[in-house]
Amino acid sequence: MTTWTDHSTDRPITFSAPSGIDRAAHHRLDEAWLAAAWSHPTTRVFVVSGGQALIDDTPDGRTELIMTPSFEAPLTEAHRYYLGTDDDGVSYFALQKDALPGRMDQSARPAGLREAGLLLSPRDAGLLVHAVALENWQRLHRFCSRCGERTVIAAAGHIRRCPACGAEHYPRTDPAVIMLVTDEEDRALLGRQVHWPEGRFSTLAGFVEPGESIEQSVAREVFEEAGVVVGDVEYIASQPWPFPSSLMLGFMARATSSEIQVDGEEIEEARWFSREDLRAAFESGEVLPPYGISIAARLIELWYGKPLPKP
């Protein structure tokens, strides 16, 4: 008998593939170790700014993060984040700066995760998603939520400490659910957000509220956005989504009602699609698939049975 999870590992989800990097969190408070790692000749460093880093295309057709030895890296007083060490003992750091350095050559270019996520290797994508998530948190949490004092960076970028009240603040990750809903006819429910271009359809999604289980969140969000009642919910996979600080939890859900009533605020249009309906809509251009960087595309593919056309 075929189940959803039989094919869930056929192709890695963007940002979720094994990166080969050990985050080695036990080193983050060891200043002597961090200093030695920073000064080691094999250590590699890249700059992150505004969610972007420099990438470059190699002669053999790959795309890589531009990294330099630490002695060639720009200076920074505090915003130096240890990201981990690979199996060969190479340590990786990200530097948060107000701007990216000048292009190192004519082919290098700035790129964010939405562009670079599908181009980079699992190692480079994993490093960049870690760095961007830390940068987003650091920029948004500079002051103590208890007393309002400006905090200082600790633990190689993974803690902010308050010098006034002693509070420690850790990077925040907001759980969000994203789900493909199917009905008793095995049709898929896809919706179009208000700010999306005409024809762009994808799965429904939303944030987990305080005091709510993820299963309850799936059912609530589907009903709020599309007016459809959900019964069984099955977890599929997760995806880091630092835009700015989410963890996407992917599900398949079975509807117990089929009448659609969109909220008009987040979702402007929602429709049930059979596989044949969706194939025809793709071919005619009536429906545009979700961007391949998102776990939404993988959830739809699990139901659709084959890769979606490229956006």
Give the SS3 label for residue 139.
helix
Q: Please name the residue that has the structure tokens 């493909």.
A: 180
- Which value, in Å, is the radius of gyration of the alpha carbons in the chain? 22
Q: Looking at the whole model, is its pTM more than 0.75?
A: yes
- What per-residue string of b and e applies to 222-235 under the rule 16 or more CB within 10 Å gives b? beebbebebeebeb
* Calpha distance 49→136 (Å, rounded): 10
Q: What kind and span of H or E run contains 133? A: helix 122-140
Give the SS3 label for residue 127.
helix
Beta strands in 184-256 (DSSP E): 188-193, 204-207, 230-241, 246-255
* Calpha distance 114→173 (Å, rounded): 19
**Domains of the chain, residue spans:** 19-167, 172-302
Per-residue pLDDT of the chain (311 residues; tens, 9 = 90+): 234 444 444 567 889 888 999 999 999 999 999 999 999 999 999 999 999 999 999 999 999 999 999 999 988 767 999 999 999 999 999 999 999 987 656 678 999 999 999 999 999 999 999 999 999 999 999 999 999 999 999 999 999 999 999 999 999 999 999 999 999 999 999 999 999 999 999 999 999 999 999 999 999 999 999 999 999 999 999 999 999 999 999 999 999 999 999 999 999 999 999 999 999 999 999 999 998 899 999 999 999 999 999 87
Domain 19-167 has CATH 3.90.79: yes
Q: In 197-310, which residue ranges form alpha helices assigned H by DSSP?
A: 214-226, 275-284, 295-304
Q: Do domains 19-167 and 172-302 have the same CATH topology?
A: yes
Q: Do residues 48 and 157 touch, judged by C-beta distance below 8 A?
A: no
What class, spelled out in words, does domain 172-302 have in CATH?
alpha beta
